[in-house]
Amino acid sequence: MSLKVAKFGGSSLADANQIKKVKDIIFSDKNYRYIVVSAPGKRYENDTKITDLLYLCHAHIKHSVPYNELFDIIKNRFIDIVDNLGLSIDINYHLENIKERINKYESVDYIASRGEYLNGLILAEYLGYDFIDPTEIIFFDEYGSFDAKKTQEAVSKRLQKHKYAVIPGFYGCTPNGKIKTFSRGGSDITGAIIAQAVKAKVYENWTDVSGFLMADPKIIDNPKRIEKITYDELRELSYMGAKVLHEDTIFPVREANIPVNIRNTNEPENPGTIIFNDKNYNIRKNSITGIAGKKDFTVIAIQKNFMNSDIGFVRKILSILEANSIPFEHLPSGIDNISLVIESSKLENKIDKIINEINKQCKPDSIDIYENIALIATVGHGMAYTPGIAAKLFSAVAKANVNVRMIDQGSSEINIIIGVENKDFEKAVKAIYNAFVN
Ligand SMILES: Nc1ncnc2c1ncn2[C@@H]1O[C@H](COP(=O)(O)OP(=O)(O)O)[C@@H](O)[C@H]1O
Ligand SMILES: N[C@@H](CC(=O)OP(=O)(O)O)C(=O)O
């Protein structure tokens, strides 16, 4: 049996026209048995995702600002979809019900999850599939962490009773019956969880690009498609900003050795990208697999002669971060220096306090702060132990006149991360891409 689980992202379900394409894809193969859906996404470049509108509703309520007009925008989008698909679902009833609950101060997670819920109801009717509410099968524990064991048992038991079903992505349920969402983009994770539980042959993730591309198409014109990529390469790239797939998607599927296939709803004949497990797959020997990056980091560079022999030095620095609840992203170090790379939004107004405490407790020789730093990760199994790759990368960036503020090669050997100024981000990505792709 070639059971397939398919997740369709917001771009594939943005309006009735897109949903018709989704139906054609699903009905082309009866092995598409479990379908995970996102909320309607953007229909055109400056459009707004339903999930963003729902978060905005919550912000209005929180600040006691009227949100009727905003809610009407959401309402009209769903009414439009239902009318254009000719469905009989009483969408007004569902929307009024949601509004009533929102008025009673429902949680932000409840509000945010309603886009997936409604789209699930709509697609289930349109396909003639059963609808399963994820609050009955996707579980979080009392601390808000995903409960994999309980979920796996519940999903596999429940889905034995349903040959074909639509399941909204992005949310589940806590032990006290409250709705909880994954982080943004989390429908990808729901799809992977379902695929693991039903031992799918493949987990297909349908979006609006023909696979995982070597770089963000918003930066590089028409970047090359990656035909095959390993789970760990993908994790590095998605963690570093290639948001086509949520970075936590790989855990359930990697455990069950289920390949992920990224496909394009607007170009279903394209084979897309296969994400799989074979580390020996070395078609890109001596080259790279992809580039990704994110802006807005702060680097705190700490210099102290004989740092290595100052026992407890790094521990003291990290405990200062811990005491101030600041997570760090990277920690590159040399013999006499160490840098803390931190997402700027996580520092808020705490930077002066942190510096004072480091000065007081660690007595460094100097501390330099670099703000507005972008991180760029160049990733690939083919670059492990290949010195020529690093040289090519750095000379490309230097030729583009970009100053490198920080370098970090992770212990995984499949990733070189550089820090550049925000303003040089796009220029550096283009330079690296052009150096490796002819
Ligand atoms: N390396 C990359 N490869 C493919 N797409 C990328 C990459 N980096 C960023 N993206 C962006 O990811 C988008 C798809 O993700 P997303 O908007 O979450 O889609 P969906 O709504 O279908 O889940 C693409 O439209 C593209 O702009
Ligand atoms: N709708 C949610 C969850 C999600 O996964 O969406 P998408 O598949 O459109 O990225 C979000 O916007 O975060």
% residues pLDDT > 90 (the chain)? 84
Confidence grade of residue 281 (pLDDT, cut at 50, 70, 90): low
In this predicted structure, the answer to whether residue 351 has a pLDDT above a threshold of 70 is yes
pLDDT (tens digit per residue) in 77-90: 999 999 999 999 99
Tokens of 382: 């083919």
Nearest protein CA to atom 6 of ligand 2, as residue: 185
pLDDT at res. 280: 61
Tokens of 342: 């931190």
Distance 238 CA to ligand 2 centre (A): 14
pLDDT (tens digit per residue) in 163-175: 999 999 999 999 9
In this predicted structure, the answer to whether residue 408 has a pLDDT above a threshold of 90 is no
Distance 31 CA to ligand 2 centre (A): 24
Whole-number mean pLDDT of the chain?
Answer: 93
Which ligand 1 atom is at minimum distance from the Cα of 10? 21
Q: Are strands 290-303 and 337-343 parallel, antiparallel or unpaired?
A: antiparallel
Average pLDDT over residues 281-301: 85
- 9 labelled as ligand-binding? yes
pLDDT at res. 409: 78
Distance 185 CA to ligand 1 centre (A): 10
Distance 339 CA to ligand 2 centre (A): 34
pLDDT at res. 311: 85
Average pLDDT over residues 261-289: 85
Average pLDDT over residues 267-291: 83
Average pLDDT over residues 397-416: 87
In this predicted structure, the answer to whether residue 264 has a pLDDT above a threshold of 90 is yes
pLDDT (tens digit per residue) in 78-137: 999 999 999 999 999 999 999 999 988 789 999 999 999 999 999 999 999 999 999 999
pLDDT at res. 286: 66
pLDDT (tens digit per residue) in 41-67: 999 999 999 999 999 999 999 899 999
Strands, sheet with 228-230, edge to edge from the N-terminal-most edge strand: 130-131, 165-168, 32-37, 4-8, 202-207, 260-264, 273-276, 228-230
pLDDT at res. 383: 78
Which residues have CB under 8 Å from 179's CB, separation 6+?
Answer: 107, 109, 110, 113, 135, 171, 172, 173
% residues pLDDT > 70 (the chain)? 97
Distance 290 CA to ligand 1 centre (A): 14
Q: Tell me the C-alpha distance between 116 and 173, whole Å.
A: 14
Nearest protein CA to atom 10 of ligand 2, as residue: 185
Confidence grade of residue 385 (pLDDT, cut at 50, 70, 90): low
Cβ of residue 12 lying under 6 Å from some atom of ligand 1: yes
Which ligand 2 atom is at minimum distance from the Cα of 170? 3
Average pLDDT over residues 36-42: 98
pLDDT at res. 278: 72
Confidence grade of residue 382 (pLDDT, cut at 50, 70, 90): confident
Average pLDDT over residues 10-35: 98
From first CA to last CA, the distance across the chain in angstroms is 42
pLDDT at res. 306: 87
pLDDT at res. 1: 64
Ligand showing the shortest atom-to-Cα distance for residue 52: 2
pLDDT at res. 387: 73
Ligand 1 pocket test: which of 244, 265, 295 has the largest number of ligand atoms within 8 Å of its C-beta? 244
Ligand 1 pocket test: which of 36, 207, 226 has the largest number of ligand atoms within 8 Å of its C-beta? 207
- 241 labelled as ligand-binding? no
pLDDT (tens digit per residue) in 222-236: 999 999 999 989 999
Cβ of residue 8 lying under 6 Å from some atom of ligand 1: no
Domains of the chain: 4-276 (3.40.1160.10), 290-436 (3.30.2130.10)
In this predicted structure, the answer to whether residue 283 has a pLDDT above a threshold of 60 is no
Q: Could you write out the DSSP letters of every residue in 107-146?
A: -HHHHHHHHHHHHHHHHHHHHT-EE--GGGT-BB-TTS-B
- Please give the single-letter amino acid code of residue 140: F
Q: Tell me the C-alpha distance between 12 and 5, whole Å.
A: 15
pLDDT at res. 305: 92
Distance 117 CA to ligand 2 centre (A): 12
Nearest protein CA to atom 12 of ligand 1, as residue: 244
Distance 10 CA to ligand 2 centre (A): 6
pTM exceeds 0.80, yes or no: yes
Which ligand 2 atom is at minimum distance from the Cα of 187? 5
In this predicted structure, the answer to whether residue 284 has a pLDDT above a threshold of 70 is no
Confidence grade of residue 285 (pLDDT, cut at 50, 70, 90): low
Name residue, tokens 């690296």.
Answer: 432
In this predicted structure, the answer to whether residue 261 has a pLDDT above a threshold of 80 is yes
- 51 labelled as ligand-binding? yes
Ligand 2 pocket test: which of 48, 116, 170 has the largest number of ligand atoms within 8 Å of its C-beta? 170
* Ligand 2, CB cutoff 6 Å, lining residues: 9-10, 38-39, 41, 49, 51, 115, 169-170, 184-188
In this predicted structure, the answer to whether residue 72 has a pLDDT above a threshold of 90 is yes
- 207 labelled as ligand-binding? yes
- 29 labelled as ligand-binding? no
Give me the interface pTM, i.e. the ipTM. 0.97
Rounded to the nearest 10°, the torsion over CA 313, 316, 317, 323 is: 180
Q: Tell me the C-alpha distance between 279 and 281, whole Å.
A: 5
Count CB neighbours of 372 within 10 A: 15
